[in-house]
């Protein structure tokens, strides 16, 4: 058993050494040209709005606002401020006032 | 290379690239391509290493505006390289591509000879390393991509837990737990290979 454990430890080290040596792939001029072609293509593509500073800020604010709205709705319903039935009827009868009216009527 | 570095620092080149000189990025690619190949070449199959290494530089280019210079560019690039390899395995894991073929006769023979008392192998050193690497890659295939990345960083490259956690964006405790669990799985996989080879 001890012998097997020692062998396993040695084998693990040999395999790790083989792994560390890598697969032998090397960069060459063709590879470098390929990278630069992709980099130039990326430079020519306009940056998506969400990836720049202002875009990221707007995205974060939107997510926070959506989360706050969801919490408010859950709190309103759970607290019994508006019964489900009344809410449903209001939505069916007067969808416009439902949207623009106060939620606490 | 040292002369070139003193001639123009990474920060100066980055400044030029951010100023619109896209081709200046080529200097950074030349400077660090061997480094990136070393990281990626260990982690992904040889045939895919070139493409993943290209992905690393393209990601670095598109994220260059977020490089804050708090650590050297080389460290920042290393983190991108490790994460690109992690994404490579995540993609493969999702698409459930066929695992590596079972042990070949050469792999079995290598296992037997490596464990024999007379370690004089009939394999050339380079061939021996290649077979050892194949076997380790095969053993690593049993791990989830994240566990695999942890084992590679902590056990195979012997990096500190804190550094591995920082690279992978995990907590140190999470890395520690994963490292322990994943290493056991790796050892079990190696044992199974041994048994399969009758070594």
Q: Do B37 and A22 touch (CB under 8 A)?
A: yes
Taking the C-alpha atoms of B16, B19, B24 and B25 in order, what is their torsion angle to the nearest 10 degrees? Answer: 100
Question: With 90 as the cut, is the pLDDT of residue B30 above it?
Answer: yes
The residue that leads in pLDDT, B199 or B18, is B18
Which residues in chain A have their CB less than 8 angstroms from residue B135's CB? 15, 18
Q: Report helix, strand or coil for B47.
A: helix
Question: With 90 as the cut, is the pLDDT of residue B59 above it?
Answer: yes
**Which residue do the tokens 């072609």 mark?**
A37
Domains of chain B: 1-99 (1.10.1740.10), 100-134 (no CATH), 141-194 (1.10.10.10)
pLDDT at B1: 47
Tell me the residue ranges of DSSP E strands in B21-167. Answer: none
Question: With 70 as the cut, is the pLDDT of residue A8 above it?
Answer: yes
Write out the two tokens for B44. Answer: 């992904």
Give A24-83 pLDDT, tens digit per residue: 788 999 999 999 999 999 998 876 666 666 777 888 899 999 998 888 888 877 776 666
Closest CB from B49, B57, B194 relative to A11: B194
How many beta-carbon pairs below 8 A join chains A and B? 115
Least confident interval from A19-28, A91-100, B156-165:
A91-100
- The model's confidence at residue B120, banded by pLDDT at 50, 70 and 90, is very low
Measure in Å the smallest separation between the Cα of A75 and chain B Cα atoms.
33
Nearest to B197 by CA among B99, B112, B101: B112
Calpha distance A56→B66 (Å, rounded): 12
What ipTM goes with this model?
0.81
Backbone angles phi, psi at B164, to 5 degrees: -60, -40
- Touching check for A39 and chain B: CB below 8 Å? yes
Give B142-170 pLDDT, tens digit per residue: 899 999 999 999 999 999 999 999 999 99
Least confident interval from A26-40, A41-55, B36-50, B62-76:
A41-55
Handedness of CA A17, B81, B100, B178 (dihedral sign): positive
């Amino acid at each position: 058993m001890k012998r097997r454990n020692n062998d396993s430890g040695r084998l693990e080290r040999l395999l790790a050494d083989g792994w560390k040596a890598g697969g032998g792939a090397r960069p060459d001029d063709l590879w470098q040209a390929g990278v630069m072609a992709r980099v130039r293509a990326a430079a020519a593509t306009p940056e998506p709005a969400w990836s720049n500073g202002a875009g990221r800020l707007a995205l974060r604010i939107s997510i926070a606002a959506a989360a706050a709205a969801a919490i408010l709705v859950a709190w309103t319903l759970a607290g019994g401020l508006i019964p489900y039935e009344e809410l449903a009827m209001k939505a069916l009868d007067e969808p416009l006032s439902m949207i623009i009216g106060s939620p606490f009527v | 290379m040292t002369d070139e570095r003193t001639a123009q620092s990474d920060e100066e080149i980055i400044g030029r690239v951010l100023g619109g000189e896209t081709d200046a990025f080529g200097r950074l690619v030349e400077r660090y391509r061997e480094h990136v190949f070393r990281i990626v070449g260990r982690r992904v199959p040889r045939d895919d290493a070139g493409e993943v290494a290209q992905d690393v530089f393209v990601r670095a280019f598109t994220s260059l505006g977020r490089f804050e210079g708090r650590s050297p560019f080389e460290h920042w690039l290393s983190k991108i390289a490790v994460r690109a390899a992690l994404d490579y395995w995540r993609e493969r894991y999702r698409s459930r591509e066929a695992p590596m073929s079972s042990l070949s006769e050469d792999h079995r023979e290598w296992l037997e000879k490596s464990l024999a008392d007379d370690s004089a192998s009939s394999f050339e050193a380079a061939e021996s390393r290649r077979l050892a690497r194949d076997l380790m890659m095969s053993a690593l295939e049993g791990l989830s991509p994240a566990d695999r990345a942890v084992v590679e960083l902590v056990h195979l490259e012997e990096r500190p837990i804190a550094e591995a956690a920082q690279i992978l964006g995990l907590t140190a405790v999470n890395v520690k737990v994963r490292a322990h669990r994943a290493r056991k799985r790796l050892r079990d996989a190696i044992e199974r290979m041994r048994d399969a080879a009758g070594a």
